[in-house]
C-alpha cells in the first residue's frame, strides 16, 4: 500500500510530472462541478482510529478548492495523516496572509513547479504568463513560514540545459526536496513530442543537478528515468504511485490507469531493477526508439516472473486445475477468489480487483508483512489493504464487504507464500 | 453473447486465459461481423463462415480482419487446424465440400504435404460478383517455435515466409536478433526504427511472432487486451465505424485477449506499414 493518498478536488490543480493541469488536456477528466467533501470527511473520521496513510495530498485549483480546501486540510490533520500537502497553482499562494492561513489549517507541505531560470521559458512551458513570478513569490512566502516547499522540475528538451541552475534556484528559494520528472506525455501532440529528451542528453545533466542537491543536503527524487543510466544515483528513482481517494463516480476518469503514461523496457526480464524501474515511456520510445545503446540490465538476483491477469482456474475442458503459480495466490482468497477479476502479481505486491454488488470497484492489495507500516489488517506473512476505490459505496460498506475476504486470507496464510519487502 | 463454454484462442490455437468474469460480455466474432457489414460483405461471406464454424466446431477457428493501408480495403482470413493430417488433402477436403455452394477451393489440387493449419483469405467481392478464397498452409518448421507459411495455387504450395514465436520479455535477445535480421529494414541506420516496428503500446503481450514474408516483414503481437486493440484501431486508422463499434463495446470485450499483426517495410527512411490485422476465434 502506498504511503500517500491523493484527493482530487477538481481538475484544475497540477498533476505530478505534468506541465499542465488535467483540465488543460485534450480529454480532461470529468471531475464534475459539485465536489462533495463529505466522503473524505467521513474517511478522515475512520482514518483517525486506524491510520493507514502517512500523507494526504490535496490537489486542486478551482472553485471547489476555494470552497472546501480549508475544511479538508483541517479534517485531514485531525484524521490521522501525519503530513498534509497541497498541490495547487502558485498564483493562489502569492499573498503571505493567504499562505499563513493555509499553513494554519494544517498544510505542512506545498509543491511548486519550477521549470526554468528565466521567466519566459518557465511561463511558456506552463503555458501561463506570470507563473514564474508567482512561483517565486510562493516560495518566498513559504520560506517565512513553518511549511516545506517541495519543488518539482519537469525535464524537457527546452530546459534540460538549465537543470543545475534551476535546482540551485530552488535550493536558494528554500526547497526542502526537489523532484525531477522526465517529461512523459500521454498521447502527445507533435509539439509535445519535441519536448522529449533522449537519455544521452538527459542523464549527464540530471546527474549534475543531483550533485548540486547533494552538496546542499536537499533531498532529490527522480521519476520516469531508467535506473540503469543513473549509476549510484539510481537509488533515487521513485516509481511508486500514491493511492487515489475516490468515493464518488465523478472521479473515475482521473483514476483511470489507461489515462496515465505507460512504460516498458526491453531489458525487463534480465534486469534486477525491473520492479523498481518503469523503463521508458511509450512517448519516448516512439520518438527515440528503445535506447538499447544506453540501457543495460542490472544482473538479476531473483528470477523474473511474467505478470498474469487471468481469472481462469479451470482448463479448456472445464476441469479444475491444481493450484500453481498465480492460482496459489487466488487460492489464498478461498471461495472469495471467484469474486475477484484476477490477480496481478509483482515481486512486491499481489493486487486483486474486486467489484461490490452496487458496482463499486476497488483493488485489494497484499504486500509483505511490515509491522512498522500502518495497514488495514495483517496476516502471518502479509499486510492487507485496499485502494483505488471507484464507485458509490461508503468506507464503512467497503470495510464490511472486504472484511470476510481479509479474514479468509488470514486463515489461509500458512507462510508458504511470500512477497519482497524491499519496495 | 459470450458464454461459459467459450474458449478463447490465439493464432497458434493455444487457449487464452479469461481476463474478466463472462457475465454480460459478448463474443469477439461480433467484431468480425461488424467489419464485414462495414465492407458490405456480410451477405457474401456469413453463410460460408458459418459453414466452416459448423464443420470444425465453435471456437475452433481463428478469424482475422486486415486493413490494407494503401488501398484502404478490408480483407479477412479464417484459419483452421488440420487435425491428424488426413492425407492427401487434410482439412481442405471437407472444406472444399462444405464451401462448394459458394466458392471453388483449388479444384485442381490433388494432394498436399502435411500441414498444421490452413488459412483461407478473402476480400469483399465486387457487388454482384463471386467471392474468391485463397489458401495458405502453415507447416511446422525446423524448430517448434517456427511456422512456415505456404501459398497454395493451382501449381501447388509455394513457400511465402515464416513466423518465429517468442516471449517478448523473456526472449528479448532472440526477439531483437530476429527482428533485426531483416531484408527490408536496416535498423543500424536509425536506432529509432526499432520503436516503430516493435511498437511500445503493444509490447506488453503474451507472444511475439516475428515474421518474414517474400515482400515485407511482419510482427504479430499475440494476447493484447481490448484497450491495446483500441489503440491499434486508432493508430492504424481503421474505418471510423469499426472504431466506434469497438469503443461502444469495449466494456463487453474486456474479458478477451486478441492478436494483432503488422506488415511493414522501410521506405524513405522510416517504417511504412503495409497491412495491419487483428484476430480472435469463433
Q: Would the pLDDT of A325 be above 60?
A: no
Contact A292 B21 (CB under 8 A): no
Which ipTM was obtained for this model?
0.88
pLDDT digits (tens, 9 = 90+) for A336-386: 877 776 777 776 788 888 888 887 888 888 888 776 666 778 888 888 988
Q: Would the pLDDT of A258 be above 70?
A: no
CA distance A69 to A63: 10
Question: What's residue A24's pLDDT?
Answer: 56
Chain B residue with CA closest to A353: the answer is: B20
Going from N- to C-terminal start, the domains of chain B cover 29-281
Question: What's residue A311's pLDDT?
Answer: 46
Question: What's residue B274's pLDDT?
Answer: 97
**A369: alpha, beta or left? (left if phi > 0; alpha if psi -120 to 50):** beta
Q: Would the pLDDT of A248 be above 70?
A: no
CB distance A109 to A56 below 8 Å: no
Q: Name the band, by pLDDT with cuts 50, 70 and 90, for residue A1.
A: low
Q: Using an 8 Å CB-CB cutoff, list chain A residues near B227.
A: 258
CB distance A49 to A19 below 8 Å: no
Question: What's residue A15's pLDDT?
Answer: 76
The mean pLDDT value for B171-179 works out to: 94
Contact B192 A270 (CB under 8 A): no
The mean pLDDT value for B168-179 works out to: 94
Chain A: closest CA distance from residue B191 (Å): 6
Question: What's residue A255's pLDDT?
Answer: 43
CA angle A93, A96, A101 (to 5 degrees): 80
The answer to whether A296 contacts chain B (CB < 8 Å) is: no
* Domains, chain A, ordered by start: 4-288 (3.20.20.70), 326-412 (3.30.200)
A408 vs B86: which has the higher pLDDT: A408
Average per-residue pLDDT for chain A: 83
Lowest mean pLDDT, pick from A136-145, A207-216, A411-420, B139-148: A411-420
pLDDT digits (tens, 9 = 90+) for A78-115: 998 999 999 998 888 899 999 999 999 999 999 999 99
Q: Using an 8 Å CB-CB cutoff, list chain A residues near B200.
A: 262, 264, 280, 282, 285-286, 290
Q: Would the pLDDT of B2 be above 50?
A: yes
Q: Name the band, by pLDDT with cuts 50, 70 and 90, for residue B127.
A: low
Contact B20 A311 (CB under 8 A): yes
CA distance A16 to A111: 9
Contact B17 A310 (CB under 8 A): yes
CA distance B60 to B81: 8
Question: What's residue A257's pLDDT?
Answer: 47
Q: Using an 8 Å CB-CB cutoff, list chain A residues near B196.
A: 286
pLDDT digits (tens, 9 = 90+) for A261-286: 889 999 999 998 988 899 999 999 99
> How far out from the chain centre does Cα B264 lie?
15
CA distance A347 to A349: 6
Lowest mean pLDDT, pick from A109-113, A392-396, B11-15, B218-222: B11-15
Nearest alpha carbon to residue B205 among B152, B179, B253, B167: B167
The mean pLDDT value for B265-273 works out to: 94
Contact A288 B195 (CB under 8 A): yes
Amino acid at each position: 500500500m502506498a504511503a500517500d493518498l491523493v484527493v482530487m478536488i477538481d481538475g484544475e490543480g497540477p498533476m505530478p510530472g505534468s506541465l499542465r493541469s488535467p483540465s488543460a488536456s485534450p480529454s480532461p477528466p470529468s471531475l464534475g462541478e459539485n465536489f462533495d467533501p463529505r466522503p473524505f470527511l467521513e474517511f478522515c473520521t475512520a482514518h483517525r482510529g486506524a491510520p493507514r496513510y502517512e500523507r494526504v495530498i490535496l490537489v486542486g485549483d478551482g472553485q471547489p478548492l476555494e470552497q472546501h480546501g480549508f475544511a479538508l486540510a483541517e479534517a485531514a490533520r485531525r484524521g490521522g495523516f501525519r503530513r498534509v500537502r497541497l498541490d495547487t497553482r502558485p498564483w493562489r499562494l502569492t499573498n503571505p496572509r493567504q499562505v499563513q492561513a493555509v499553513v494554519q489549517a494544517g498544510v505542512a507541505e506545498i509543491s511548486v513547479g519550477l521549470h526554468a531560470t528565466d521567466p519566459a521559458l518557465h511561463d511558456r512551458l506552463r503555458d501561463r504568463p506570470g507563473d514564474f513570478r508567482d512561483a517565486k513569490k510562493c516560495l518566498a512566502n513559504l520560506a517565512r513560514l513553518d511549511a516545506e516547499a517541495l519543488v518539482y522540475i519537469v525535464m524537457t528538451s527546452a530546459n534540460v540545459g538549465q537543470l543545475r541552475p534551476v535546482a540551485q534556484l530552488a535550493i536558494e528559494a528554500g526547497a526542502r526536496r526537489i523532484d525531477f520528472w522526465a517529461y512523459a506525455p500521454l498521447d502527445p501532440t507533435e509539439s509535445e513530442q519535441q519536448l522529449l529528451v533522449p537519455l544521452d542528453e538527459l542523464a549527464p545533466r540530471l546527474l549534475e543537478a543531483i550533485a548540486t542537491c547533494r552538496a546542499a543536503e536537499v533531498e532529490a527524487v527522480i521519476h520516469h528515468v531508467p535506473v540503469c543510466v543513473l549509476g549510484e544515483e539510481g537509488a533515487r528513482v521513485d516509481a511508486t504511485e500514491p493511492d487515489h481517494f475516490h468515493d464518488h463516480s465523478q472521479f473515475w476518469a482521473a483514476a483511470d490507469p489507461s489515462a496515465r503514461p505507460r512504460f516498458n523496457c526491453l531489458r525487463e526480464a534480465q534486469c534486477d531493477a525491473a520492479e523498481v524501474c518503469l523503463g521508458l515511456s511509450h512517448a519516448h520510445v516512439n520518438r527515440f526508439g528503445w535506447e538499447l545503446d544506453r540501457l543495460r540490465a542490472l544482473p538479476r538476483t531473483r528470477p523474473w516472473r511474467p505478470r498474469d491477469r487471468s481469472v481462469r482456474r479451470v482448463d479448456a475442458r472445464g476441469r479444475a486445475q491444481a493450484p500453481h503459480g498465480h492460482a496459489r495466490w487466488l487460492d489464498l482468497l478461498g471461495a472469495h477468489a471467484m469474486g475477484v477479476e484476477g490477480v496481478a502479481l509483482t515481486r512486491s505486491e499481489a493486487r486483486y480487483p474486486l467489484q461490490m454488488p452496487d458496482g463499486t470497484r476497488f483493488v485489494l492489495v497484499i504486500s509483505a508483512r511490515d509491522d512498522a507500516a500502518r495497514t488495514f489488517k495483517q496476516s502471518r506473512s502479509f499486510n492487507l489493504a485496499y485502494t483505488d476505490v471507484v464507485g458509490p459505496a461508503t468506507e464503512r460498506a467497503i470495510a464490511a464487504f472486504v472484511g470476510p475476504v481479509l479474514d479468509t486470507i488470514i486463515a489461509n496464510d500458512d507462510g508458504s507464500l511470500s512477497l519482497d519487502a524491499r519496495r | 453473447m459470450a458464454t461459459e463454454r467459450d474458449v478463447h484462442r490465439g493464432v497458434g490455437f493455444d487457449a487464452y486465459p479469461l481476463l474478466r468474469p463472462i457475465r454480460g460480455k459478448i463474443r469477439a466474432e461480433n467484431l468480425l461481423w461488424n467489419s464485414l457489414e462495414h465492407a458490405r460483405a456480410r451477405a457474401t461471406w456469413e453463410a460460408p463462415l458459418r459453414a466452416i464454424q459448423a464443420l470444425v466446431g465453435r471456437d475452433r477457428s481463428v478469424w482475422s480482419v486486415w486493413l490494407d493501408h494503401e488501398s484502404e480495403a478490408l480483407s479477412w482470413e479464417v484459419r483452421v487446424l488440420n487435425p491428424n493430417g488426413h492425407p492427401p488433402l487434410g482439412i481442405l477436403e471437407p472444406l472444399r465440400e462444405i464451401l462448394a455452394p459458394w466458392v471453388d477451393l483449388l479444384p485442381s489440387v490433388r494432394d498436399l504435404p502435411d500441414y498444421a493449419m490452413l488459412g483461407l483469405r478473402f476480400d469483399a467481392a465486387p457487388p454482384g460478383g463471386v467471392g474468391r478464397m485463397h489458401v495458405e498452409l502453415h507447416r511446422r518448421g525446423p524448430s517448434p517455435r517456427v511456422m512456415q507459411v505456404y501459398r497454395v495455387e493451382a501449381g501447388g504450395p509455394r513457400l511465402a515466409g515464416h513466423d518465429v514465436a517468442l516471449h517478448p520479455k523473456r526472449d528479448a535477445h532472440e526477439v531483437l536478433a530476429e527482428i533485426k535480421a531483416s531484408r527490408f529494414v536496416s535498423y543500424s541506420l536509425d536506432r529509432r526504427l526499432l520503436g516503430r516496428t516493435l511498437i511500445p503500446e503493444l509490447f506488453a503481450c503474451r507472444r511475439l511472432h516475428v515474421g518474414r514474408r517474400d515482400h515485407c516483414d511482419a510482427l504479430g503481437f499475440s494476447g493484447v487486451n481490448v484497450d491495446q486493440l483500441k489503440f491499434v484501431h486508432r493508430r492504424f486508422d481503421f474505418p471510423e465505424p469499426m472504431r466506434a463499434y469497438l469503443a461502444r463495446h469495449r466494456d463487453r470485450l474486456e474479458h478477451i485477449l486478441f492478436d494483432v499483426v503488422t506488415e511493414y517495410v522501410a521506405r524513405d527512411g522510416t517504417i511504412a506499414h503495409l497491412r495491419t490485422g487483428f484476430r480472435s476465434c469463433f
